[in-house]
Every structure is written in structure tokens, then in C-alpha cells.
Structure 1
Amino acid sequence: MKKLLITAGVVGMSITALAACGETEVSQVDKSEENTASAEEADTEEVDAEATEEDVANLEDELFKVGDTVSIDGVEITITNAEFTEPAEYSSPEGKVLTLDVEVENNSDDKAMVDDTEFSLYDENGSLQDKYYSYDEMAISGSINGGRNNSGKLYYDVTEQDAPYELTYNPMFVWDSVEITFEIDVD
């Protein structure tokens, strides 16, 4: 009987804890020079915990561009640059090396893990592009405390094309499944 009461208590607390978890907030952040308001007053297309699943899906369906900042539960992700770079001296990629510069700012109170494994790059045919691991500098990876930031790079061995690539980001730090897509146009 004692085990049954303990089990029922643990199950009840687990259900309560999971019910307290809200929807993931996803928003596009306006980082223009004209925007000098605080983060709480920033002009955003905010999707809050009371938003419908359709609202979240609409923002997830949006294609963000290089330079756009997307906030997911207070963690802002920006792809700041995309360019083809020379391969490492002793490594020959099958295609060209595409390097993406990433900036992350954690405006939440919690730690957030951001890692290159959360990003996937696709060509115009929807084919997944391989990561490129031959540089001395590692791709972005780290746990970022609240109020802190990090920057790093993503490296891909890509087939050259005229059309933009699509970079998807599936963060591990959220409870529900969120996918944000960036259109990567390389000049």
C-alpha cells in the first residue's frame, strides 16, 4: 500500500510538472539600428504561450534570411554571414565548403545548449548536405548561461548551385518540436 501511495504521488507530481510547461515562444526580432527599446519593448512578431498552434506553424513555415534574428524561448539565433571558403590544406571536399557565421544570445534565465548537430543544410533538390569537419576551428557548440552569448561557425561540404540553400534549426532546449528555416543565399 505504501508503494502504491508513493507511486501515485510521483505520477501526480510528474503530471503537474509537465502541465506547467507552456508552448515554446517563437518570434522574429527586429534588430535594426532604429530599434533602441529594451528587449521587453522590442518590436517582434511574438508567438506567446496562449498563441494557437496555427500561429506557431505559420512562423515556422516562414523562410528567414541571412541577417534575420529569430528568438526561441528567449534564445536569439542569427546567421550573420554565408560564404564559400577555401578547404583545409590536407582535405579535399567533394564539392565546395560553405561556412556560416552564427551568433547566439541567451536572453532567458535558463542555460541553453546550441550545437551544430541541431542544424541541417539542404540543396535545391532537398538533399541533405554533409558537414565539413576538416578545419582546425570546431563548429559552434556550447551551453550558454542566461544573459550570455556565443558565436561560432557551421561548415558544410556542398554541391554548388545558383539557388539558395535551406538551413533548418531544431533546438534541443525546447520541450516541443520546433523547426526554423533560414534561406541561405551565397553571393
Structure 2
Amino acid sequence: MGKKVMGSDGKMYKVKKPFYQRVWFWLIAVIVVFIGVGTLGGGDNESGSNVKKVDSEEKSTSTESTTEGQKEETFKIGDTASIDGYEIKVNSVEFQDGSEYNKPAEGKQFVIINITITNNTDEKQSFNPLDYSLNEDGVSSSTGFTYADGVDSLSSGDLDKGASVTGNLVGEANPNSKLKLRYQGNFFLSDHEVDFDLN
């Protein structure tokens, strides 16, 4: 609140605080600092990083650069995609009609995608089903994944260096459509888009 001062005419006038002394200015400044620190704290996961196809049999890798504007490599079931050591593998894909009380929309089936995420980076990494989408005939679902009875869905959390997690992503789609699992990246890997062909 501004203070009051007496003018030369003897009247009291309210003097407003300068903008840099206002609460809203400092709130915005703190938010900007946090965003800046978070972006800098992303470690090695910066634009221009590499997506690799990991060949587990020969213990070798073939690198494909994924700078913005380039076409990303598409992977298959059983392939492991490595984004600077953040590894994603689609282990299997199954289709289900659902149960008596939990059915997909008409003309669709549940698509159960079993994946393994491994952290081979030098620092802790997060994982979240919201980093993925099911792409059907070129259209990615924005509604996220659902659940199916008796299927353990992938949760969210953090992976220490060298740790892995395996779980299921459950979507709904026409099994005759061209289906892909799309990894869109988390906050620090948001410049990457990796597709896995599911059929």
C-alpha cells in the first residue's frame, strides 16, 4: 500500500510504490529464476543430443542424430531406443476385448504395450506415462492412457542411475489401424520424439 505525503498545496496525496517494490514483481522474478535453474539443471539432455538404437546382441550401437527438424528413427517391438542413455524398449503388444464391466469403445480393443525404461545416464531420471501417446493412423491421442482389468499399468517416478522399470501402457484403438507408440519426451528431453511401430 502506498504512503501519503502532503503536497505544496496542503493536500494529502497517495504515492504508489515503484513496481520493483511490489509483491507481484518479486513473485514473477522467483518463478523466472526457478525456470532458469530447472532448464540449466537438465544435465546432458540438451538439444542436439543423440537417439541410438541399442543392439543388445552385438553390444554395439548405431547412432542417428536427432537435432530439431530431422526425421526421427522409427523403432520396432524388441528394439531399444537410447536418448543419451535414457533407454526405452517395447517388449510386447497385446490386444484385449476387455471385461464385462470395462470395455473399450465400439470397434476398438485395448492395446496393452509392455515397456521397459532403463536409466543409463549419469543422473536420476524421471518416468511418466504422460511422456507417451498412442498414435493411430497418424493421429496421437491427447486423452492419455487408460486401464484394463488385471493389467499392471506403468506408474510414474524416478530412476536412479542403472535402474530399470517395466510396466504397461493401455490404450484403445482399432487393431487394424497403423499403430505407433510415441515418446514425446519429459521436461528435459522435450526436443525428442521417438516412434515404435506396434503392428
- Residue in structure 1 matching 2:98, options 81, 87, 99: 87
What is the count of residue pairs matched by the alignment? 160
Which AA in structure 2 matches 1:126? Answer: V
In the other structure, the counterpart of 1:120 is: 133
1:171 is displaced (CA, Å) by: 1.9
TM-score by length of 2: 0.67
Aligned mate of 1:44, from 47, 62, 80: 62
TM-score relative to the length of structure 1: 0.70
Q: Please tell me whether the aligned partners of residues 82 and 88 of structure 2 are also in contact (alpha carbons under 8 angstroms).
A: yes
Cα distance between partner residues in 1 of 2:102 and 2:110:
11
Q: Which runs of 4+ in 1 moved over 4 A?
A: 19-22, 51-54
Root-mean-square deviation over aligned CA pairs: 3.1
| Higher RCO (C-alpha under 8 Å, 6+ residues apart) | 1
Judging by fraction of residues, say which structure has more helix.
1
Q: In structure 2, what is the equivalent of residue 167 of structure 1? A: 181
Structure-to-structure mapping, 1:1-187, within 5 angstroms: 18=40, 22-23=46-47, 24-32=49-57, 35-36=58-59, 42-45=60-63, 47=65, 53=68, 57-58=70-71, 60=72, 62-94=73-105, 95-124=108-137, 126=139, 128=141, 131-141=145-155, 142-161=157-176, 163-172=177-186, 174-185=188-199
Q: CA deviation at 1:174?
A: 2.4
2:6 equivalent in structure 1: none
Cα deviation per residue 1:60-80 (whole Å; 9 max; x = unaligned)?
A: 2x2211111100121110001
Identity of aligned residues (%): 28
Query: 1: distance between equivalents of 2:116 and 2:128?
Result: 12
Inter-partner Cα distance in structure 1 for 2:159 and 2:124: 5
Q: Greater CA deviation, 124-133 or 136-145? A: 124-133
Structure 2 residues without counterparts, runs of 5 or longer: 1-19, 21-28
With over 3 angstroms needed to count, the CA separation of the structure-2 counterparts of 1:176 and 1:115, relative to structure 1, is closer
Quote the Cα distance in structure 2 between the aligned partners of 1:177 and 1:125.
19
